[in-house]
Chains A and B, each alone.
Chain A
């Protein structure tokens, strides 16, 4: 572990370390930035206005990402995490269209909320556990003596990082901001920035909260919801980039399920002989599966979003009905897209298959471990989650099939001739970049390579007893693909295509952001807060009571001598009343008042204030006198 800027910096400095996982992810970040940059040259060739801004913030985000990936403690992660949240904001708002501005606002809100929750979690954690180093977290949490507070801190950290990862219920920014960003930026947002959030959750949960079943269950449930919801929205979406963004959300759900399984099942590892062994194996499988799925998802989304960038670049459209048929006769576009789609759908021989199978096996073993240990309810819950897992995997296949058939097989009703003529659809550099990025899918689909990678990243080699192409594992993968085929044929072809056009049947009202968050944040809270504020504001303020009182009393005081003088003249001085020269009460003052109208109120207040001061002193002395008697 290296300490940078030590002592001088706020809480003991920034700390960096490198292990297998961090090095692999650091390299993936480099790889992604390098390829998207190569792709950007063509993508931005007509853009002049904001290019400098774009490159500046892209570079800043890169540095911050590497900072998070190599951080050795939560504080360092947090520092770079915040920087990255703010710099990547510029990607989302880059186009400055109304949708982009709206999405950017959502992104910003969630980033700030996430950042603050994380901040809170860190403060609680630092206080109760006494350390923020990932390596010491497990021991510190176990020995903290305040299980409730530590748990609260853990939940805060989970939600804080989860906001960036796109975890339910803070996922709302994800399907909105990825489509509006420029495609190279979308690839980065989806491929690596979400992983930054996952990184934080993984580093905190897996060594830190091992053995805490409740924490694992929460992660598992949230992961399941994210996974299913993302797959479902992606199924309905008719926008290429939006489908990919929802798919990202769904894949993040798969990863979270892996984390949840590992933490949940680790609670068992100390128990009975049989279930303990099963549990530790399930944990290892889930751990390997989730890190591999992280890597795979990063690489796949890089390819897919860059491929989507080609459509934006050539057609400036990404609605499926507009771009259908554009891919026909363009093998350089089709091959990378196909490889990416096969990878993410979990087709055997491609990378997604291995990671998803590992995650699935982890779930199965965890269920068996719980069944063995006698926790029937947890086992049946895990059984349900396993089915949701398979169905979500099937949906992945279904929506990728939908995209592929729409773009590369079907014909556009009107513009097909125009589309066929549009070759080549990108320059050589972009095509090579795209192809290079996609060649990793089959490469990582080889169990030997994936196994090495997983061993490097997790430290334990599960591949000596895990056989990716064993019948049981192939069965799970095939079942998922079968479900996907059915979903495609039954749901998509029958219900989501009307008169030859793709339609989004997802009810527009059923949007968590529009349904709950925006009304809550923009209407209810300001209204409630505003009502409260107005009420408090409307209370007669100190000045509103004091001012008239001051005015009244000082006027009275000023008029008193006049009044006494006039009264005495009329009564005991027996002065004769002269009509023309009568001095009305207050006249002496009004003359002066006219002269120095502006200064008077201040003077009145001064005199009043000093008078009040004297009164105060009197009262206080009175009180003291009374009390000391």
Chain B
């Protein structure tokens, strides 16, 4: 099969999303069926493609000699596309239930499904320019979702969001252009497109531009503030986009730039590596501290995401195969875990209209399933064995210990510190829910609060089951990630 078929997978959600803005639907139910249908068709198509498409990149359009739009599929892309395509249809089910009483569901779901196309585009792109294109498209299609409530707060958040994602991405563009100019083949190769090419030393600075510019989406330290701001968006957006799709695309782009374009050998042992590792180490502790101080649960989780994204960047910047495997594994496992956490908290906020930590007191008795799933996910985030979070943390620690340089050891220490903080900020919510402080039960006398039926609990249960499954049997997945390192 030709790689051009990949375009279909990108186009279906994008075009159908655009059409949704114009189509007339009899009622919300029809809209839901249509959207879920689009998502399912796309996901099935993606899975078919994952098994059939050969990896050769195809040039779609050529601006200039080297400046081309190319798509193709390699194992890293397959991994990310597989992850994304499982999540979208499942979270949509939750979203239908969550957005039930919203008046502007049509525009919401239109953009929601368009982001799917953009995320798939990022997975399938096979050079930096294409990746950057979809990277920006993802930002564009997310802004209406952040601003969905259209009140002062969400407009402000949307402004911040735009300013960060577009403004800082300029840095990334600089790197994209330079590496394209120097590239040998013009598409991604494991080990670096620039490897073996005589490049001037200032490419290191350009790499740093790229790291921070593309790392904006991964909320790396000076550019992290948009992520907590964006938590005003509805829970399905925060869960799927701001814990998985958008932020992981940032890490994904950094991986592409580091391992597939510049090449780890060029950077290993340089001051640039030290700067990146130290920035990631700082971010992961700093964000964990802020998360601890934050009383608004969703913002707390958002800061936790900031912290965990830096775990991935730390792994990636170790510039060793073990580090890449660890970072990528954490990308997958953190996605599952953090999404479950956000969905649980979203469920709680949706049904009780409360959003602060003190409001959780005693909620565990009234929404038992939601908080059981929350607790399991929080344990996974902390890295308790037999849950998936442990696997990637173990990999990160061993990869860091193997590297053994001073920045790596500082990173290890901050990893442990941040895991300790994570135990407190993550589990204190569960502790309050099940063992209310001073016996103050905020929901006394209310009995069981509705937990949203199967459409809300189903996805939670599904993702929690995934956490346990990958905690017990991560072997096949890790083996697959291992093939990325072998250059497939």
Residues of A within 8 A of B (CB): 5, 7-11, 78-79, 82-83, 86, 93, 96, 98, 101, 104, 108-109, 112-113, 116-117, 119-120, 122-124, 126-128, 149, 526, 529-530, 532-533, 536-537, 541-543, 546-547, 550, 598, 601-602, 605-606, 608-610, 612-613, 615-617, 619-621, 624, 627
Contact = CB atoms under 8 A, between A and B. Distances in A.
A7 B159 CA distance: 49
Given A119-B416, A541-B225, A624-B178, A8 B159 contact: no
Nearest to A5: B472
Nearest to B474: A10
Interface string B396-430: 01101110000000001000100110011001000
A616 B170 contact: yes
Contacts, number: 158
A452 to B, nearest CB: 36
A624 B163 contact: no
Interface stretch (B96-104, B344-352, B377-385): B377-385
B385 A79 contact: yes
B385 A537 contact: no
B52 interface: no
B385 A547 contact: no
24 contacts: A9-B475, A10-B391, A10-B478, A82-B384, A83-B385, A112-B382, A112-B420, A119-B393, A119-B394, A122-B394, A123-B400, A123-B401, A126-B398, A126-B401, A149-B401, A529-B285, A529-B292, A542-B163, A542-B222, A543-B226, A546-B163, A609-B163, A619-B174, A621-B177
A627 B202 contact: yes
Contacts of B159: 543, 547, 601-602, 605
Contact of A605 (B162, B401, B471): B162
- What 7 pairs between A and B have smallest CB-CB spacing? A609-B166, A123-B397, A616-B170, A79-B385, A529-B289, A127-B401, A8-B475
Contacts of B416: 116-117, 119-120
Contact of A606 (B166, B289, B382, B427): B166
Contacts of A610: 166
A9 B472 contact: yes
Contact of A537 (B202, B290, B383, B427): B290
A101 B163 contact: no
User: By DSSP majority rule, is chain A's interface helix, strand, loop, or mixed?
Assistant: helix
Interface in B157-176: 158-160, 162-164, 166-171, 173-174
A481 B177 CA distance: 83
Contacts of B285: 529
B167 to A, nearest CB: 5
A314 B226 CA distance: 59
Size range of the chain B interface in the assembly: 35 or more
Contacts of B463: none
A200 to B, nearest CB: 14
B53 interface: no
Given A113-B420, A620-B174, A620-B177, A93 B143 contact: no
A163 to B, nearest CB: 12
A537 B225 CA distance: 9
A70 B424 CA distance: 31
Contacts of A613: 166, 169-170, 173
A151 to B, nearest CB: 14
A120 B412 contact: yes
A602 B155 CA distance: 8
Contacts of A608: 163, 167
Nearest to A80: B385
B435 A542 contact: no
A9 B476 CA distance: 10
Given A526-B293, A616-B171, A543 B155 contact: no
A550 B290 contact: no
Contacts of A602: 143, 147, 155, 158-159, 162
B289 A530 contact: yes
B289 A93 contact: no
B394 A123 contact: yes
B290 A598 contact: no
A470 B424 CA distance: 55
A5 B222 CA distance: 44
Contact of A609 (B155, B162, B379): B162
* Most chain A CB inside 10 Å of its own CB: which residue of B159, B393, B438: B159
A96 B364 CA distance: 15
Contacts of A127: 398, 401-402
Contacts of B397: 119-120, 123
B170 A612 contact: yes
A7 B166 contact: no
Nearest to B223: A542
A127 B420 CA distance: 22
Given A119-B393, A536-B286, A609-B163, A542 B225 contact: yes
B143 A10 contact: no
B27 interface: no
